Amino acid sequence: MGDAAVAIGVSVDTLRRWDRAGKLRTERDERNRRLVPASEVERLAAAPERHRTGTRSSARNRLEGVVRSVEVGGVMALVEIEAGPFMLTSAVTRDSVRELGLAEGVRVTAVVKATSVILERGT
């Protein structure tokens, strides 16, 4: 049980609970100790496949959309993007607007990479 717990990344107590709840198939040896078959360890240790971006970027949050407006002021600009049901506003430099050719109707991909995401509960 200990080796199986380490391989799966849970505690032995968790494996015992899963066994009692029927979430884990175990066998018993001649001393009535639980044994976890290798097939169960493989099944439970398998990490879910993460979505791929198709790029060499580490950012996974990519929203394809269309530029709805560009407001340039000073050295910064606000670019409003409609991405499916979402409206995003990105603050970028005026140079970025020029270099990327951002204008109303241009198709873009908003790549979101943040160390924090703030959520609010709907009412």
Q: What is the reported pLDDT for 51?
A: 67
Point out the residues of the chain with pLDDT beneath 70: 47, 49-51, 53, 58, 119
* Domains of the chain, each with CATH number or no CATH: 2-45 (no CATH), 61-112 (2.40.50.100)
Give the distance from CA 55 to its chain's centroid: 15
Query: Phi-psi bin for 74: left (phi > 0), alpha (psi -120 to 50), beta?
Result: left
Q: What is the pLDDT of residues 5-32, one digit of tens each?
A: 999 989 999 999 999 999 999 999 999 9
